Structure 1
């Protein structure tokens, strides 16, 4: 497999992942972004913890979808993430679910 074939394959996989995201985002209430992953979830519990002077975050999610191009099954019943980096949790509103009329991402009208 050439480098170009590999790049084309990865681009196609990312496009398929975006399409899946677009199709499922309306099923979820929250967007959760960690240092390594992006999740959609219906229940989120974020706890700030500390141990030995270090602060870390513990995020528990239920009924989740994981943005990971290499993961064959992206729907997960329960996820627990522990991270030392910031965690961003946003509640989705109906307006957040609207894609631009032109298709977004620089698509021509």
Structure 2
């Protein structure tokens, strides 16, 4: 496999991962970014801890999706993350409720 073939393969993997993210993002309530990973989750518990004068963050995520091109299973039931870097947690805005079209919904 040439270097160009490998680069093309990695590009395809990233594009497939982006498409999967686009398809599943609406299923989740939160976006979580750490220095190593990007997660979507429906439950987030962020605790700031300290030990020996060092501050760290402990995250517990439930019903999560992990942005990682090398993982075969990106959906996970629960994730525990410990990091010494900043953590960004954002609540996703939910789209307005779209009602189905049809006679049953007309007045």
Tell me the TM-score normalised to structure 2 length: 0.88
Kindly state the Cα deviation for residue 61 of structure 1 after the two structures are TM-superposed: 0.1
Greater gyration radius: 2
1:26 equivalenced with 2:26 (yes/no): yes
Kindly state the Cα deviation for residue 51 of structure 1 after the two structures are TM-superposed: 0.2
Give RMSD over aligned pairs.
0.7
- The aligned counterpart of 2:11 is 11
Q: Tell me how far apart the structure 2 counterparts of residues 25 and 2 of structure 1 sit (CA, whole Å).
A: 34
Aligned length: 95
Unaligned regions of 5+ residues in structure 2, if any? 96-107
Q: Which 4+ residue blocks in structure 1 deviate beyond 6 angstroms?
A: none
* 1:45-92 Cα distance to aligned partner (Å, 9 max, x none): 000000000000000000000000000000000000000000000000
- The aligned counterpart of 2:105 is none
